[in-house]
Amino acid sequence: MNESSNHDLDPMERASLVSFAHREIRARIANGIYTPGARITESAAAVDLDVSRASIREALRALSAEGVVVTRPRGGVTVPTVSRGELENLFECRATLQSGMVFSATKTASAEDLIELRRLSDAPPATASGDSRAESVDDAFFRKVGGISGNPWMVRLHTQVCAQLERYRLTFPYAWTGAQHAARRSDVLDAMARRDAVTAAQLTTRYVDDLLFLLLSTHEEQADH
């Protein structure tokens, strides 16, 4: 199906095709089929996925709104590129916000809060193993920490930083497994349970710094190829 319009389809069929195109384009970016800087054209993607150009257009519009692809001012859609400096800046913000939330939450968390954090931390990824899904568990954990911290500004800023990082996770997936993420969070939780806010915050910063080191290594390896 590579016609240019979806007008002959009913709304449910249209929505299903757009959802399919959205999911497949996102997967191709994550799998490296669409590489950083690559241009995605409606015509080529429609042929590749056997859907209409209209479905591709709507899917790309949604992906652009999510920051997964970039729409250029003069037209055209590309897979975003990222510089070392951008990653370092974002991870500096991430470390500052997450360690700050952990520091505050350590002082205010109830026993029930700590049990819930442990449950979130130990939860397996929602679907089959994958680095971006392991990171989604991490996001859920730190969202809960943010809620416990009682600082809505840190929570809001953390959400914005995570939204920016999401597109880079697709392009440069981390090599850590879900179990490795959980082990680091467990160390943080142990310090929180002892009400050692300083150590909990320091462990959080180290966790984020190690993730950045791994991501930069992946970034440099891909740049060499």
Same domain, 65 and 110: no
Encode pLDDT of 167-210 as tens digits. Answer: 676 666 655 677 888 999 999 999 999 999 999 999 999 999 99
**Does 1 reside within a domain?**
no
**Does 168 reside within a domain?**
yes
**Does 71 reside within a domain?**
yes
Same domain, 33 and 142: no
Q: At 25, which CATH number?
A: 1.10.10.10
Q: Looking at 26, 50, 78, which one is the last position of a domain?
A: 78
Tell me how far apart the alpha carbons of residues 69 and 55 are, in angstroms, rounded to a whole number. 16
pLDDT score recorded for residue 129 = 40
Same domain, 66 and 139: no
pLDDT score recorded for residue 125 = 60
In which order are the strands placed within the sheet that holds 70-71? 39-40, 77-78, 70-71
Same domain, 123 and 190: yes
**Does 6 reside within a domain?**
no
Strand pairing of 39-40 and 77-78?
Answer: antiparallel
* Number of independent structural domains in the chain: 2
Phi, psi of 157 (to 5 degrees): -65, -35
Same domain, 155 and 207: yes
pLDDT score recorded for residue 162 = 84
Q: At 210, which CATH number?
A: 1.20.120.530
Same domain, 69 and 97: no
Encode pLDDT of 115-168 as tens digits. Answer: 999 999 988 765 444 445 566 788 899 999 999 999 999 999 998 888 778 767
Same domain, 104 and 210: yes
Same domain, 145 and 210: yes
**Does 34 reside within a domain?**
yes
Encode pLDDT of 9-43 as tens digits. Answer: 556 677 889 999 999 998 888 777 888 889 999 99
pLDDT score recorded for residue 165 = 80
Tell me how far apart the alpha carbons of residues 168 and 67 are, in angstroms, rounded to a whole number. 9
**Residue numbers of the domain that contains 91:** 84-224
Same domain, 33 and 91: no
pLDDT score recorded for residue 22 = 95
Percent of the chain with pLDDT over 70: 82
Same domain, 124 and 191: yes
Q: Looking at 20, 43, 78, which one is the last position of a domain?
A: 78
**Does 206 reside within a domain?**
yes
**pTM given for the model:** 0.71
Q: Looking at 78, 106, 127, which one is the last position of a domain?
A: 78
Tell me how far apart the alpha carbons of residues 11 and 17 are, in angstroms, rounded to a whole number. 10
DSSP state of 123: P
Percent of the chain with pLDDT over 90: 52
pLDDT score recorded for residue 63 = 92
pLDDT score recorded for residue 172 = 66
**Does 3 reside within a domain?**
no
Tokens of 10: 């009913």
